[in-house]
Structure 1
Amino acid sequence: MTVIALVGLPGGGKSTVGRQLARRLGVRFVDADSTLEARFGMPIKAYFAEHGEAAFRDEEAKVIDELTCAGPGESMVLATGGGAVLRPENREHLQSRCTVVYLRSTPDELFRRLRHDTQRPLLQVADPKAKLKALYDERHPLYEAVAHYSIDTGRPSVATLVNMIAMQLDMAGLLPLPGAQAPQSAI
């Protein structure tokens, strides 16, 4: 199995870019946060409020382990949660089992995208911009350490980001992915 895992801060485009990249590559897309919400039977925000961050990170580690060691013959694009890199075992599983792409965004870019967001539990604070800066300072070195490739999200469109990632994968000899379906052309 080949897993292309996207890492980065909340709002960095992992789910949006991941869906489009999977479509482009003809493989399955899996969002770790959506998988967790389905298991919890509630939004992550509610789970955080009821059980706390430590319990959430325990469950997230189980999901990352499962998703990164799925069976042979299939490939997927995996969008991880923004904090997935906080646990050493997650970093190890991502680094050793996946091709990891860091979607790098600055705190200012993220604040512009997320200033009205009410669903991300870590950003429900008095100063979300300061929180994003603190998250960046804490997590950026971890993203850099786990990533095989880094892409600056800045101002490029989603399609441009997908093209940039696909080009990196192609230049590394990782395309086509095992089990990929030929992309369907628009008629």
Structure 2
Amino acid sequence: MGQARKHPDLICARPVVLVGMMGVGKTTVGRRLAARLELPFYDADHEIEKAAGMTVSDLFAAHGEQSFREGEARVIKRLLEGPPHVLATGGGAVTNPETRALIAERTVSIWIRAEIDTIVKRASKRNTRPLLQNDDPRETLIRLMKEREPFYASADIHIDSQTGPHANTVDLIVDALCARPDLLTAIEEPMS
């Protein structure tokens, strides 16, 4: 495996948010991207579990998806109000209009996409995905993909998940960020 390409002039003045379906590699890619950008990394699902003191699956079982989405929106809002970092969101985070607006306004958003066969293969490796606990996870993923793609498509940058090492996807993201330095500049706060 080659050495990671460095881009010393790439400085993020705003959070970088990864969106996309479950199974596209947002968490793994996000960790590696954060290391490359020398930024902290957060995984929204992990932060939700920490705040709630229970797993995402347990939250869904005990309180339902709507309650989970409300908590998810609060956690993402809190994180995005902080200094620059890389954030891997849950696949359904973009279904919340306030979360979508906040991501659009305050972040560099990156949609990591993959073919349905890749998503099914990756997502079915873990039994911790509450929305796939049914008789036809593939059909569920197809339906969710159709519902969510219009929201994902509003991201600033679109990257196809690579079937090889996640480092390849990170390289594509870094190259895309280098090509769009305008996205990385600080947000101008309105004057009072």
Report how far residue 138 of structure 1 moved: 0.5
The answer for the alignment partner of 2:63 in structure 1 is 51
Amino acid in structure 2 at the alignment position of 1:78: L
Mind listing any 5+ residue stretches in structure 2 that lack a counterpart? 1-12, 187-192
Assess if the C-alpha contact under 8 Å between 2:42 and 2:88 holds in 1: yes
The answer for the alignment partner of 1:159 in structure 2 is 167
- TM score, norm. by length of structure 1: 0.88
Alignment root-mean-square deviation, CA: 1.7
Task: Give per-residue Cα distances to partners, 1:59-82, cap 9 Å, x unaligned.
Answer: 011111111111xxx421000111
Amino acid in structure 2 at the alignment position of 1:162: V
Assess if the C-alpha contact under 8 Å between 1:12 and 1:103 holds in 2: yes
The answer for the alignment partner of 2:131 in structure 1 is 122
How many angstroms apart in 2 are the aligned matches of 1:107 and 1:142?
A: 17
- TM score, norm. by length of structure 2: 0.86
The answer for the alignment partner of 1:131 in structure 2 is 140
22-31 or 111-120, which moves further after superposition? Answer: 111-120
Task: Give per-residue Cα distances to partners, 1:114-163, cap 9 Å, x unaligned.
Answer: 22321010011101011110010100111002x00000114242111111
1:9 has 2:17 as partner = no
Assess if the C-alpha contact under 8 Å between 1:109 and 1:154 holds in 2: no
Question: 1:55 and 1:76, CA in 2 relative to 1: closer, same or farther beyond 3 A?
Answer: same
Mind listing any 5+ residue stretches in structure 1 that lack a counterpart? 179-187
Amino acid in structure 1 at the alignment position of 2:156: H
The answer for the alignment partner of 2:149 in structure 1 is 140
The answer for the alignment partner of 1:89 in structure 2 is 98
